[in-house]
Amino acid sequence: MGLNTPFYPYATTNAQGSFSVQSAGYVQGVYMDDPAVRYALATGSLSASATGPIWGGMAISESVAPASGYDRTLGGTIVAATAQSNLTGFSVFNNAYAWVGSPQSPVPTAGAAGMTVPFFRMGSGARIAVAMDPSLVSLDGGLITQQVSWDFNNQVLQPYDASTATYSVTSATSSYSNGVYTIAIVMAAASPVAGVGDLINISGVTGTGASLVNGNQTVSAFTDNQHFSIQITAASGAIATGSLTGTIVLNYGTGALPVKILDINAGNSMTVSYNATTGAATWNRSGYAALIQI
């Protein structure tokens, strides 16, 4: 029998215990170098009407600069896009020299009116890494023209959703143990939720702890797309236990996002996690990302 010695002289490896066992990955909000589109990089100023900060890889809405009381050389005014109808481009970290970070919030962000926001407009052809819902790993191997949607609540790429803006929740039942609330969610019909790690946005909860439940959450346990759970760390008594009250819904973006899906990366990319309660934006170094062309 011949000796079969494995020999791969061109294999790329990483040192054991270093950043990752593989070198492939993306950083959300960074665009790929391309001499054909680099001059399409535009800037605007964060609008005084913005309700939250801007970081790289967000869907943004650009408005024409005011006629007075504004430095028009900086471009239009920028806020986070809230729907397909007002989406005009995507923000990037490139050239965001004045964005602010801190040890508690290491992701650079534009958080004050008038701060410069670099971005690419839709149709520019720029290739930008964005956060994606983990369920989109199913796109791997498919056409680059597969339809996807954008979740304007979580600012992530999500499975295609043609027309339904909200999905009704039949029940949300809360239980508490060791500093963690587990909320079991039952949907009225099939939802886009596809597994553990999916990002969802909840609204309509009333009663004690509603502000902790309403907003962006991560699926912690999954049975099927009508039965799954989330977990929230909070002090005892912070959230009502038992059946939560209110007309509860999951909120999603709708319609086809007009982009091409050039690549996906599962679990080895840097994506942004934003806590609306503390205002901190941190890096998830095991994130899921997609490379889109806008």
Higher pLDDT, 208 or 9: 208
Match 């954008």 to its residue by tokens: 150
- Residue 28: name the closest of 4, 70, 51, 59 by CA: 59
Closest CA to 58 of 38, 86, 81, 39: 81
The runs of H, that is alpha helices, within 106-222 are 210-213
Q: How far apart (Å, rounded) are the C-alpha atoms in residues 51 and 76?
A: 17
- Tokens 């008594």 appear where? 237
SS3 assignment, position 32: coil
What value does the CA radius of gyration of the chain take, rounded to a whole number of Å?
Answer: 21
Structure confidence by residue, pLDDT tens digits, 150-182: 999 889 999 888 777 789 999 999 999 999 999
What pLDDT does 1 receive? 44
Q: Is residue 10 predicted with pLDDT exceeding 90?
A: no
Q: What is the pLDDT of residues 36-88, one digit of tens each?
A: 899 999 999 999 889 899 999 999 999 987 777 666 667 789 999 988 889 99
Residue spans in the chain of domains classed CATH 2.40.30:
166-251
Architecture per CATH, domain 166-251, reads as Beta Barrel (2.40)
User: What distance in Å separates the CA atoms of residue 156 and residue 131, rounded to the nearest whole number?
Assistant: 5
pTM of the shown model: 0.76
Does the pLDDT at position 110 exceed 90? Answer: yes
The predicted-structure confidence for 12-46, as pLDDT tens digits, reads as follows 555 555 555 556 689 999 999 999 899 999 999 99
Neighbour-count burial for 115-142, b at 16+ CB within 10 Å, e otherwise? bbbbbbebebebbbbbbbbbbbbebeee
Lowest mean pLDDT among 48-52, 183-187, 289-293: 48-52
Question: Do 271 and 151 meet the contact criterion of CB atoms below 8 Å apart?
Answer: no
Residue 109's pLDDT is 95
Q: Which amino acid is at 63?
A: S
Tell me the pLDDT tens digit for each residue of 93-108. 999 998 998 988 999 9
Closest CA to 55 of 124, 105, 3: 105
Nearest to 254 by CA among 193, 125, 124, 163: 163
Per-residue tokens: 264: 């996906």
State pLDDT tens for residues 203-246.
999 999 999 999 888 899 999 999 999 999 999 999 999 999 99
Question: What are the residue ranges of helices labelled H in 31-159?
Answer: none
Under the banding of pLDDT at 50, 70 and 90, the label for residue 276 is confident
Spatial distance between the Cα atoms of 266 and 258, rounded to a whole number of angstroms: 22
Distances (CA, A) of 185 to 228, 236, 250: 5, 20, 10
Distance (Å, whole) CA 258 – CA 213: 32
> Which residue matches tokens 């319609």?
255
